[in-house]
Amino acid sequence: IDAGAPVWLLTPKTGRDGYVEPSEIGEAAQTAGLAQTSSVNAGKDWTGSRLVTPKAARSGKR
């Protein structure tokens, strides 16, 4: 993955097997040093969550 490139995480929508609460995705992203910036409809059964490196980390400021 290129430095600074987003990661798209696809998870089942509400009511589907394997559904993950958005708060859990945000917490896991933070643990991994990422930030959740948006969510999109990725089909009938899927939601896409965009994860990125926080701006401070990209610019070397921590």
Total number of domains constituting the chain: 1
Q: Answer yes or no: is 1 within a domain.
A: no
Q: Answer yes or no: is 46 within a domain.
A: yes
The pLDDT tens digits for 10-42 are 999 999 999 999 999 999 999 999 999 999 999
Using the predicted structure, report yes or no on whether residue 62 has a pLDDT greater than 80: no
Determine the Cα angle at 24 with ends 18 and 57, to 5°. 130
In contact, 11 and 25? CB cutoff 8 Å: yes
Q: Answer yes or no: is 2 within a domain.
A: no
Q: In 3D, which of 25, 16, 6 has the Cα closest to residue 43?
A: 16
Q: Looking only at Cα atoms, what is the longest distance across the chain?
A: 40
Segments forming the whole domain that contains residue 53: 7-57
Q: Answer yes or no: is 41 within a domain.
A: yes
- Report pTM: 0.79
Using the predicted structure, report yes or no on whether residue 59 has a pLDDT greater than 80: no
Of 55 and 10, which is predicted with more confidence? 10
Of 1 and 61, which is predicted with more confidence? 1
Q: Where are the beta strands (DSSP E) in 1-62?
A: 7-12, 35-41, 46-52
